[in-house]
């Protein structure tokens, strides 16, 4: 009987030990899973970027065996778009996309990824910029200084000119209107003597400004007109087809360094496919956006593609502004001119590759 009691006590202690060990393993497993807080300023609508972001999150979770996923914070709810660099750098957000135009002092070299002239083709711009990371270590060094790690980048495509009262075919059509212009175009307006009152606004504020009459028009992006509901106010969308905007997807460096090797490998393995998916989806969205804007029953909007002569009237001033931007950025980082020159040359090269062979996803 005494032996039986000892045996029961031993078994009970063993079960307790095993239970504690099992609990420890469960806690350890839970602790190793990381939901990355991802800052996004876009609304949670059916856009190319949101679709690809969802795919990316799912794939990260699969390839990391559940260690890594994204917790996406939409509409600037985690950090405001203009503060995204500070937000990711400080760790308020683990990761997110940043617009170098809003942080030119901290990211002068990455601001070069956005162009005022040249192609508006999303794939061409994205592939050309991807090759810059292979050639110029200065880009990584710039991110290091900002406590950030590169994850990806994407082009939101060519800018468009929105207007309420009349289409802006050429600068002569501005006629003193109050217009929100991106920095390059605002500089072009000043240099070209355009009759326009430029208004400085962050992108999410365009709708309210148009609605209240604070502005008469704005520079937007074709694929963002519907998600941001700009077509509810604007009656015209003009496509100059000059340049494009590239956003950079980054992660806080400390957060990245604390990830497991498996999670880092998952991020790395998805980079190329992520770029291709985003480019392909964005090109599809561009075509669909034109159709939807034109055929919207409640808010039909006239989409106008400029002819060569009209494009030249805009391009002349914008080209000079682009060069001036590079000169200004060179004062912050002397590598700016060589990177810009290489980037524009690579854009031409990739454009020819597409003309000759088609897009990568169409090649057999």
pLDDT of residue 32: 66
Please determine whether the domains at 35-156+245-284 and 159-243+289-355 fall in the same fold group of CATH. yes
Q: In what order do the strands lie in the sheet with 197-199?
A: 197-199, 178-180, 217-221, 159-163, 236-239, 302-305
Phi then psi dihedrals of residue 193, to 5 deg: 65, 30
Per-residue tokens: 151: 């994850």
> What is the SS3 assignment for the chain?
CHHHHHHHHHHHHHHHHHHHHHHHHHHHHHHHCEEEEEECCCCCCCCHHHHHHHHHHHHHHHHCCCCEEEEEECCCCCCCHHHHHHHHHHCCCCEEEECHHHHCCCCHHHHCCCECCCCCCHHHHHHHHHHHHHHCHHHHHHHHHCCEEEEEEEEEECEEEEECCCCCCCHHHCCCCEEECCHHHHHHHHHHCCCCEEECCCHHHHHHHHHHCCCCEEEEEHHHCCCCCHHHCCCEEEECCCCEEEEEEEEEHHHHHCCCHHHHHHHHHCHHHHHHHHHHHHHHHHHHHHHHHHHCCCCCCEEEECCHHHHHHHHHHHHHHHHHHHHHHHHHCCCHHHHHHHHHHHHHHHHHHHHHHCCHHHCC
- CA-nearest of 126, 187, 135 to 154 is 126
Q: CB neighbours (10 Å) of residue 86?
A: 17
pTM attached to this predicted model: 0.83
Phi then psi dihedrals of residue 43, to 5 deg: -75, 155
- CA-nearest of 280, 279, 277 to 57 is 277
pLDDT of residue 6: 45
Q: At what angle do helices 308-332 and 183-192 cross, to 10 degrees?
A: 110
Burial class (CB in 10 A: 0-12, 13-18, 19+), 297: exposed
pLDDT tens digits in sequence order for the chain, 364 residues long: 444 444 444 444 544 444 444 444 334 444 468 899 999 998 898 888 899 999 999 999 999 999 999 999 999 999 999 999 999 999 999 999 999 989 999 999 999 999 988 888 999 999 999 999 999 999 999 999 999 999 999 998 888 999 999 999 999 999 999 999 988 899 899 988 999 999 999 888 999 999 999 999 999 999 889 989 999 999 999 999 888 999 999 999 999 999 999 999 999 999 999 999 999 999 998 889 999 999 999 999 999 999 999 988 888 878 888 899 999 999 999 999 999 999 999 999 999 999 999 999 998 6
Is the domain covering 159-243+289-355 a CATH 3.40.190.170 domain?
Answer: yes
- Measured in Å, how far apart are the chain's first and last C-alpha atoms? 79
Where exactly are the structural domains of the chain? Answer: 35-156+245-284, 159-243+289-355
pLDDT of residue 363: 86
Fold observed for domain 35-156+245-284: D-Maltodextrin-Binding Protein; domain 2 (3.40.190)
């Amino acid at each position: 009987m005494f032996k039986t009691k000892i045996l029961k006590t031993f078994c009970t202690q063993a079960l307790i030990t095993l239970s504690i060990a099992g609990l420890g393993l469960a806690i350890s497993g839970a602790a190793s899973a990381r939901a990355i807080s991802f800052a996004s300023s876009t609304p949670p609508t059916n856009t190319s970027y949101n679709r690809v972001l969802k795919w990316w999150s799912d794939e990260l979770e699969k390839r990391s065996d559940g260690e890594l996923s994204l917790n996406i914070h939409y509409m600037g709810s985690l950090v405001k778009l203009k503060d995204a660099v500070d937000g990711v750098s400080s760790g308020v957000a683990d990761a997110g996309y940043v617009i170098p135009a809003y942080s030119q002092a901290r990211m002068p070299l990455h601001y070069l990824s956005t162009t005022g002239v040249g192609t508006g083709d999303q794939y061409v711009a994205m592939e050309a910029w991807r090759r810059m990371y292979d050639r110029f270590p200065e880009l990584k060094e710039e991110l290091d200084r900002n406590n950030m790690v590169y994850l990806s980048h994407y082009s939101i495509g060519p800018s468009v000119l929105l207007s309420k009262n009349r289409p802006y075919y050429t600068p002569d059509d501005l006629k003193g209107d109050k217009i929100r212009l991106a920095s390059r175009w605002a500089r072009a307006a000043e240099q070209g003597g355009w009759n326009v009152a430029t208004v400085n606004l962050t992108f999410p504020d365009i709708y309210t400004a148009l609605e209240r009459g604070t502005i008469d028009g704005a520079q937007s992006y074709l694929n963002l007109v519907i998600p941001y509901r700009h077509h509810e106010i604007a009656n015209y969308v003009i496509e100059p087809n000059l340049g494009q905007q590239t956003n950079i997807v980054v992660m806080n460096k400390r957060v990245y360094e604390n990830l497991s090797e498996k999670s880092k490998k998952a991020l790395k393995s998805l980079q190329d496919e992520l770029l291709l998916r985003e480019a392909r989806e964005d090109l599809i969205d561009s075509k669909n956006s034109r159709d939807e804007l034109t055929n919207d029953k409640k808010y039909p909007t006239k989409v106008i593609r400029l002819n060569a002569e009209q494009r030249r009237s805009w391009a002349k001033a914008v080209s000079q502004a682009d060069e001036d931007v590079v000169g200004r950025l060179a004062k912050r980082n002397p590598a700016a001119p060589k990177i810009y020159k290489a980037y524009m040359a690579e854009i031409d090269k990739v454009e020819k590759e597409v003309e000759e062979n088609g897009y990568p996803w169409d090649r057999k």
